[in-house]
């Protein structure tokens, strides 16, 4: 295409509404425009990126035996009522009625539709496993849609559902998807990590999130720096290494100490001149069933996801001042496990390894010293409830963990029989016995992947597309549109590149070279070819590599080969 | 793929709900399943067909300079209010509210969105022409969805919008789309005709429908049998050839004749022993403005679309008994133009060419004879208002027209400045003057094209896919799954074909050969390769060509080449 004909409306100004990098750059570079809050039109260059991502996804899923289908976006309420989700899904579900008053929703996900489909069409174990997927618009009525494509109300997802006869089969399907996802994001040219994520249930590593690494990422992850090990987890899910051994110091006599105005760990540590690592941090929570005192070492933080899972509750909230006073007899900041009755005590293993520790006395302005867990209090439950941070040892190999921020672009998840049981979807096994399908679900945010690619690949001048998903590989820029020779040479190079399969545009606009260079940097073409009078006099043009920042002069008759070689090095 | 692993649930029974061939066959052959009334899940084989059609569309539109984008399905009401369509669209528009109570609709079409987009991003004539398109789900809340994919509520459309600086530019864009559509349907392997269609306005041939020819088609078209001429039109739009000359018989004296029980043209013709071609058929209509007497020759039928356009009215209805009596003083069947006052007289040119004709006397049981138009009555308007039928001369070249039935799969349409004016979308012309964009819109029903392909290509045993859009080219069928040799040979052929780029499946199910053959015919693979013991003993397999009904024995080592040659002949 010629840039003069492309719908590629670049902007000088940063749109006020855009808070994150990808949102700002995709608007500024002319990749998309807002149609309504959280709803966008993707312009030609964005759509080229999306088609490339979709193609990679299709190839990798088909390679694993995936079968592509297309389910409706408009879903009848009846199926959601059968699964029980119609009433619990809440205001994020877009709902509508047809002209006859029947209820529908716009699918945020398709477990109901696919389970009902397979229930009707698959009845023998011989037809399993089955991997069915689609690439399609999804809908979620976010209360506050923002961040452009990162949290929209209408967005493109790939969703795949696996159907197996048993858990062993599900493991196989899950591993296939793990491999497919790894290939997809690698082939998209992205730096990413699959991380163990929280599945909302105790134990098991039955869900992974695929995180594109980016400083602006909304999630914190930790990963092992030992490449061989490869352990990586969402911070909220990372397992703590249990303490090697208990502190074997002789147990001293407990004592209550007046600690005026010492409410924080830091204040107490300063008061006693000890490390917070020798203190017990006690936080009071409430669930729908009980009041809980959760304990971690004074230098640690409680991981509420782990605590939530450990308590097997529906609702977990940090207790308010009033509840804390009722439960402990003191203000928050003076809670401690000793003589605390009517409250469930949950301790992290590290707490149990302490000797002669300091904790709150359940009395305002007082702490206890020389507290020895097991002697002075006995927890109801000892389990890993703390947040793991960068620098701690890897739970698998012991190497120090590294921290990073990431953007979730995919998740793979073992559903088990949740939906097949709810919807009565069964098959006959080898013995003719009806059994529920064992399911998995696997999502990739397609538009989100494009946005994440921008978050990861940009500089102050604009986007730097990975060559694998770049909308075009090359832009050819004649530095003056008034010089016929430059224009003709640019046209020739442009045609030669396209004939050679290099996706190229030529910037034929009657604008100054500076404007064109700025736009080229903003849009993020991997290679810019500058056709200038001086170079041309020597029979050369300039190749500028956007990511590398390199500039090389190339003889005219070597342009195509050089570009192809450079693109190949870049990963094309 | 192996058929045992494919989600391809063929049915023995014809589903009760399915009325038309494509609906029946696409359900029976396992291509789709209903999710709700007029809403379907497309299963793997259907989706393969859709992807092929989409690919052809993309290639042909891109070749014409089309730029693919993706607009939202969920559209804000504000834009529809701006264009005025929010209030007039009626119950076919799916409407919904978001969590904040704001109104949205599910797009049945995207004129508003695209016009608002271009209004904001394009401001100079230098950026024109612009051809923007998308392939996407569309929504229409049909009162009675039926016929499967032929009249669904959720369906896939390609919609393209052209933006030009003037009518001449629009002509160019329109012709590009005419060419693109012609190529698309030809490359889909379909028999079709572009026909002049009704644009809802007087005159001009500014809309064409692309009709896939099929006996089951809902539309009647007429087309010129002279290939050079190529005239074709929707029956309701076909132009009548004006009568060559007026009947020059000497005008006789008018006379009223008692014609008891002669209410139909046939009865009157029999009574007078004349041809209906010598009579005037008069039908009373009402519009929101007036009562109208429409006249055609007794052997003709009124084309209400033409009449509607000629009257420039909003509403046109055939008058009821009461209105007819009020207007004519007699029952329907005795209406005539002579001395008919307070009624607008509209006559077809053929009526004016009659001499000494017979017409109703506006008195029960009476007709007038020897009526001479111009002498005995003077119409307010003489214009073509009759239906043109097969056998009549072509209005362009005079050759006899042929009749056919068709299914509309595409339409191209000149919009002019309707939407750009309504939404204030202007550009600056060469003189810096703001002018509204001159637009065209161009649609292809993608799912409908698949259904139309089935309506056109099938027999009593199932679908016969055109090779260009067949979900797979070849099915390899070992006649017994118990014979290891047959199974292995079938597998080998299957792999060899796929390696050679021939899209193949192997029917590895433990079923009888008859079941497999029936399924293969039903699904409609262009080529079936049968691997049987007898043939194999002679080193041969059987090639069965689904459309041709031919069977040939082919040596094993020539299978791939023979299949490729046959597919090429078929149009691949």
Percent of chain A topping pLDDT 70: 99
| B462 within some domain | no
A362 located within any domain: yes
Residues of A in contact with B36 (CB under 8 A): 72, 74-76, 102, 104
Beta pairing partners, B222: B233, B403
Q: How far apart are alpha carbons A162 and A128 in whole angstroms?
A: 9
Name the closest residue on chain B to residue A153, using Cα atoms: B74
The residue from A350, A382, A414 where one domain ends is: A382
Mean pLDDT along residues A124-132: 96
For residue A332, what pLDDT is reported?
87
> How many interchain CB pairs under 8 A, A with B?
151
Residues in chain A with CB shorter than 8 Å from the CB of B1 are 67
The confidence band for A205, taking pLDDT boundaries of 50, 70 and 90, is low
The pLDDT of A303-326, averaged and rounded, is 91
- Examine the pLDDT at A202 and tell me if it is beyond 50: no
**A157 & A301 share domain:** no
Nearest neighbour of A7 by CB, restricted to B106, B121, B141: B121
- Of residues B43, B117, B127, nearest to A33 (C-beta): B117
Q: Helix or strand or coil: residue A302? A: strand
Query: pLDDT at position A200, please?
Result: 58
CB B83 within 8 A of CB B111: yes
Q: What average pLDDT score do residues B196-200 get? A: 73
H-helix or E-strand spanning residue A20: none
Domain containing B484 — which CATH number? 3.40.50.800
Give mean pLDDT, residues B6-14. 93
A199 — pLDDT class (breaks 50, 70, 90): low
Cβ of A99 within 8 Å of Cβ of B141? The answer is yes
- Do residues B233 and B283 share a domain? no
Query: Is residue B326 assigned to a domain?
Result: yes
Split at pLDDT 50, 70, 90, the class of A203 is very low
* Minimal CA separation from A407 to chain B, in Å: 24
Q: Which of B7, B102, B106 sits opposite A130 (nearest CB)?
A: B7
Whether the bond into A129 is cis, omega within 30 of 0:
yes
Per-residue pLDDT, B205: 52
Residue A393 bridge partners (DSSP): A400
**Given B6, B47, B132, which is nearest A70 (Cβ)?**
B47
Task: Tell me which of A52-56, A229-233, B459-463, B477-481 is least confident.
Answer: A229-233
Taking the C-alpha atoms of residue A15 and residue A3, their distance in angstroms, rounded to an integer, is 23
B203 pLDDT tier (thresholds 50, 70, 90): very low
Residue A278 has pLDDT above 80, yes or no: yes
Q: Could you report the per-residue pLDDT of A468-478, keeping only the tens digit for each?
A: 999 999 999 99
Residue in B48, B99, B104 closest to A143 by CB? B99
CA–chain centroid gap for B493, Å, is 41
CATH number of the domain that B204 lies in?
A: 3.30.930.10
Tens digit of each residue's pLDDT (9 = 90 or more) over B489-502? 999 999 999 999 99
Query: Do A96 and A220 fall within a single domain?
Result: yes
What pLDDT is recorded for position A127? 94
Residue B3 lies in a domain: no
The pLDDT of residue B518: 97
Q: Which domain holds residue B101?
A: 21-239+402-454
- Helical H segments across A429-555, by residue range: 446-456, 484-499, 513-523, 533-537
Please tell me which residue of chain A has the smallest CA distance to B114: A41
Q: What percent of chain B is predicted at pLDDT more than 70?
A: 99
A398 contacts: CB under 8 Å, gap ≥ 6: A241
Q: Taking 80 as the threshold, does the pLDDT of residue A190 lie above it?
A: yes
Q: What is the DSSP secondary-structure string of A449-474?
A: HHHHHHHHSEETTEE---GGG-S-SE
Q: What Cα–Cα distance (Å) separates residue B478 from each residue in A275, A314, A381, B7? A: 77, 56, 63, 20
- How far is the alpha carbon of A410 from chain B, nearest alpha carbon, in Å? 22
Would the CB atoms of B94 and A94 count as touching at under 8 Å?
no
Pair A193, A308 in one domain: no
Question: Do A295 and A427 belong together in one domain?
Answer: no
Q: ipTM, 2 decimals?
A: 0.90
Out of B382, B412, B442, a domain closes at: B382
CA angle B553, B556, B558 (to 5 degrees): 85
pLDDT tens figures, A328-340: 999 988 999 999 9
Looking at chain A, the whole-number percentage of residues with pLDDT higher than 90 is 87
Q: Same domain, yes or no, for B313 and B375?
A: yes
Report the distance separating Cα A159 and Cα A68, nearest Å. Answer: 10
Contact B36 A74 (CB under 8 A): yes
pLDDT tens profile A227-258: 889 899 988 888 899 888 888 889 999 999 99
Statement: residue B88 has pLDDT above 90 = no
CA angle at residue A423 from A419 to A424, to 5 degrees? 110
Chain A residues with CB-CB distance to B144 below 8 A: none
* Residue B213 belongs to some domain of the structure: yes
**Residue B202 in this model has a pLDDT that exceeds 60:** no
Looking at residue A201, its pLDDT comes to: 47
* pLDDT tens, residue by residue, B129-166: 999 999 999 999 998 888 999 999 999 999 999 999 99
In a domain, B2, yes or no: no
Interface test with B, best of A63, A74, A131 (most B CBs within 10 A): A74
pLDDT at B19: 86
Element (H or E) spanning A379, and its range? none
pLDDT tens digits for range B169-179: 999 999 999 99
Domain final residue, candidates A349, A382, A415: A382
Residue B121 and residue B210 in one domain: yes
How large is the average pLDDT for residues A35-46? 97
Residue of B nearest to A100 (CA): B143
Q: Which two tokens stand for residue B338?
A: 């002579």
Residue B27: count of CB within 10 angstroms of its CB = 22
Closest C-alpha to B474, from B520, B513, B511: B520
| C-alpha–C-alpha distance, residues A456 and A438, integer Å | 36
Average pLDDT, chain B: 94
A416 with A493, same domain: the answer is no
Structure tokens at A471: 């909308």
List, in order, residues 6 or more apart from B134 with CB less than 8 Å away. Answer: B68, B69, B70, B71, B110, B158, B159
| Weakest mean pLDDT among A8-22, B289-303, B330-344 | A8-22
Number of domains in chain B: 3
Q: What is the CATH number of the domain that holds B352?
A: 3.90.960.10
What whole-number distance in Å separates Cα of residue B237 and Cα of residue B385?
Answer: 10
Contacts of A136 (CB under 8 A, 6+ apart): A70, A71, A73, A107, A156, A157, A159
Q: Per-residue pLDDT averaged across A91-96, rounded?
A: 96
Question: In whole angstroms, what is the distance from residue B269 CA to residue B560 CA?
Answer: 68
Question: CB–CB of A113 and B39 under 8 A?
Answer: no
Higher-scoring residue by pLDDT: A151, B177: B177
Written in H, E and C, the secondary structure of B383-397 is CCCECCCCCCECCCC
Residue B204, pLDDT > 50, answer no
* A541 secondary structure, DSSP code: E
- State mean pLDDT over B82-99: 93
Are B323 and B272 in contact, with CB atoms under 8 Å apart? no
pLDDT at residue A204 in the model? 46
| B132: nearest CB among A7, A50, A137 | A7
Position B199 scores a pLDDT of 66
Mean pLDDT for chain A? 94
Which of B36, B58, B59, B115 is the best substitution to test chain A (most A C-beta atoms within 10 A)? Answer: B36
pLDDT tens-digit series, residues B50-59: 999 999 999 9
Q: Is the pLDDT of residue B200 over 70?
A: no
Q: Where are the beta strands (DSSP E) in B372-502?
A: 381-382, 401-416, 426-428, 434-436, 438-445, 458-459, 462-463, 474-478
Asked if B369 contacts B272 with a C-beta cutoff of 8 angstroms, the reply is yes
Please give the pLDDT value at position B362.
96
- CA-CA distance, A374 to A357, in Å (whole number)? 12
In a domain, A8, yes or no: no
Pair A125, A233 in one domain: yes
Same domain for A149 and A232, yes or no, is yes
Tell me the per-residue pLDDT of B310-369, one tens digit each, with 9 for 90 and over.
998 888 999 999 999 999 999 988 999 999 999 999 999 999 999 999 999 999 999 999
pLDDT reported for residue B318: 95
- Do B43 and B73 share a structural domain? yes
Q: How many CB atoms are closer than 10 A to CB B242?
A: 14
Tell me whether residue A378 is in a domain.
yes
Average pLDDT over residues B272-293: 95
CA distance B420 to A204: 58
pLDDT of residue A17: 79
Cβ–Cβ gap B74/A67 under 8 Å: no
Task: Indicate whether A332 and A435 sit together in one domain.
Answer: no
What are the residues whose beta carbons fall under 8 Å from the beta carbon of A119, sequence distance 6 or more?
Answer: A420, A423, A424, A425, A426
According to the model, what pLDDT value does residue B114 have? 98
Tell me whether residues A141 and B98 touch, CB distance under 8 A.
Answer: yes
């Amino acid at each position: 295409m010629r840039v003069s004909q492309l719908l590629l409306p670049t902007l000088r100004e940063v749109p006020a509404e855009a808070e994150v990098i990808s949102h700002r750059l995709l608007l500024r570079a002319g990749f998309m425009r807002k149609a309504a809050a959280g709803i966008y039109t993707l312009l030609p260059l964005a759509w080229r990126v999306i088609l490339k991502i979709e193609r990679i996804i299709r190839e990798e899923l088909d390679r694993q035996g995936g079968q592509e289908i297309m389910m409706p976006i408009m879903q009848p309420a009846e199926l959601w009522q059968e699964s029980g989700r119609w009433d619990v899904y809440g205001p994020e579900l877009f709902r509508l009625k047809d002209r006859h008053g029947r209820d529908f929703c716009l699918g945020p996900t398709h477990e109901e539709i696919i389970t009902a489909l397979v229930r009707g069409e698959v009845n023998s174990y011989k037809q399993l496993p089955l991997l069915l997927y689609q690439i399609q618009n999804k809908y979620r009525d976010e209360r506050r849609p923002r961040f452009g494509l990162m949290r929209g109300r209408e967005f493109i997802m790939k969703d795949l559902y696996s159907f197996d006869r048993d858990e062993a089969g599900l493991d196989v399907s899950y591993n296939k998807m793990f491999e497919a996802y790894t290939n997809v994001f690698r082939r998209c040219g992205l730096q990413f990590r699959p991380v163990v994520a929280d599945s909302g249930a105790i134990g098991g590593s039955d869900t992974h999130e695929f995180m594109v690494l980016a400083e602006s990422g909304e999630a914190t992850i930790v990963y092992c720096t030992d490449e061989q090990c490869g352990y990586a987890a969402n911070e909220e899910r990372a397992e703590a290494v249990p303490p090697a051994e208990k502190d074997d110091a002789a147990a001293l006599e407990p004592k209550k100490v007046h600690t005026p105005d010492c409410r924080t760990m830091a204040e107490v540590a300063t008061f006693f001149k000890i490390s917070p690592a020798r203190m017990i941090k006690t936080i009071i929570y409430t669930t729908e069933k009980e009041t809980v005192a959760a304990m971690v070492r004074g230098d640690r933080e409680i991981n509420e996801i782990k605590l939530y899972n450990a308590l097997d509750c529906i609702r977990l909230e940090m207790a308010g001042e009033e509840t804390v006073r009722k439960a402990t007899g003191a203000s928050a900041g003076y809670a401690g496990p000793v003589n605390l009755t009517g409250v469930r005590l949950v301790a992290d293993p590290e707490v149990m390894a302490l000797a002669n520790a300091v904790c709150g006395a359940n009395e305002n302005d007082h702490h206890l010293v020389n507290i020895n867990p097991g002697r002075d209090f006995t927890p109801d439950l000892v389990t890993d409830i703390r947040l793991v941070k960068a620098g701690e040892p890897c739970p698998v190999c012991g190497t120090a963990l590294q921290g990073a921020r990431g953007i979730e672009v995919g998740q793979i998840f073992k559903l088990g029989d949740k939906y097949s049981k709810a919807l009565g979807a069964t098959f006959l096994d080898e013995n003719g016995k009806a059994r529920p399908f064992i399911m998995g679900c696997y999502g990739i945010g397609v538009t989100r992947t494009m946005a994440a690619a921008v978050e990861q690949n940009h500089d102050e001048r604009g986007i730097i597309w990975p060559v694998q998903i770049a909308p075009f590989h090359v832009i050819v820029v004649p530095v003056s549109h008034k010089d016929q020779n430059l224009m003709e040479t640019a046209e020739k190079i442009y045609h030669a590149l396209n004939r050679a399969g290099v996706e190229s545009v030529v910037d034929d606009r009657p604008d100054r070279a500076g404007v064109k260079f700025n736009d080229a940097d903003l849009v993020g073409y991997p290679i810019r070819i500058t056709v200038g009078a001086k170079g041309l006099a020597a029979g050369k043009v300039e190749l500028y590599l956007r990511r590398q920042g390199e500039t090389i002069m190339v003889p005219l008759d070597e342009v195509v080969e050089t570009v192809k070689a450079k693109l190949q090095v870049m990963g094309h």
